[in-house]
Structures are given as C-alpha cells and as structure tokens.
Structure 1
Amino acid sequence: MRWEIDLEAGDSVGAARKALAIQRDPGSWATVFTVQGEHQGAARVATVDLDPEGLDLSGTGTPEVELTG
C-alpha cells in the first residue's frame, strides 16, 4: 500500500515533511482517496469517498466507490 499526495516543495525531504504533517493533522478533512491494486489478477483503480454526504469526517459512514480500469 502506498499513500500519495500532490504538493509543492523545494526538495524531496521538504515534500516528505509536508506530506507527513498533512497525514498526521487531526483536523484534516481529506475523505476522498484513489486506491490502486489488483483484483482477481486485473489492475483496478477505485475512487473511494468516505464522506459523500459531507456530514461525517470520521469516515465511518456509508462510502461511495467508483471503479475504473
């Protein structure tokens, strides 16, 4: 498993530090993720929205999943 984020930084260490700060931020509202992997031998990509209603930032509600690939 790999977590990726697009951001701007002066170098790779700075980018890693920014990403770590975002990942650990308890106030983060990131709830939509692109998940890449294999399912039954085929490459799959899923977009998972853990809070499609915008009501529960904990991510424990009913997710919305869109498969591609």
Structure 2
Amino acid sequence: MEYTVTWKIELDVHDPVEAARKALAIQRNPGSWATVFTIHDGVQAVTVDLDPEHLDPSGGGEPKVALAA
C-alpha cells in the first residue's frame, strides 16, 4: 500500500530555503520531539503520534493513532 506522510511545523525565518534547512535540522536532531505525522492512504488520513507521552523522542514509544481532522 502507498502512503503520503506529512509533518508540519511553523517556523519564523527569512525565506523558503532557510525554512527547509531549519525543518531538516529539527527532524534529524536525535533529541527532537518531532514525532507527530499525518498519514494519507488515498481514502482517509490519520494522525500518528509516535511519542504521545513525551517519554522517548526517538519515536520508540507506544504510538497513538487517530483520524486526522
């Protein structure tokens, strides 16, 4: 099955390239809490939080899955 995965973050920067670089740095940071994603399967979308208890920023915690708004 094919999925589209999105991650959203709001950043205050000067231009789109700076925004992309800053977002990439946040995603690659091992201590980052960027663990919430929206997953689309072509029919519906769900939100997957890989660390809803904020205990394991690696995303190895117990995931929470809910229909996306």
Q: Place the TM-score, normalised by the shorter chain, in its bin.
A: 0.5 to 0.7
Q: Does 1:29 align with 2:33?
A: yes
Number of aligned residue pairs: 65
CA distance in 1, matches of 2:22, 2:36: 19
More strand by share: 1
Change (3 A) 1:23 1:14: same
Q: Does 1:9 align with 2:13?
A: yes
- Give percent identity, aligned residues only: 58
The structure with more radius of gyration: 1
Corresponding position of 1:51: 51
Bigger RCO of structures 1 and 2 (CA < 8 A, at least 6 apart): 2
Structure 1: 5+ residue stretches without partners: none
CA distance in 1, matches of 2:23, 2:57: 19
> Runs of at least 4 residues of structure 1 off by over 3 A?
1-4
Change (3 A) 1:61 1:27: closer
Structure 2: 5+ residue stretches without partners: none
Give me the TM-score of the superposition, normalised by structure 1: 0.68
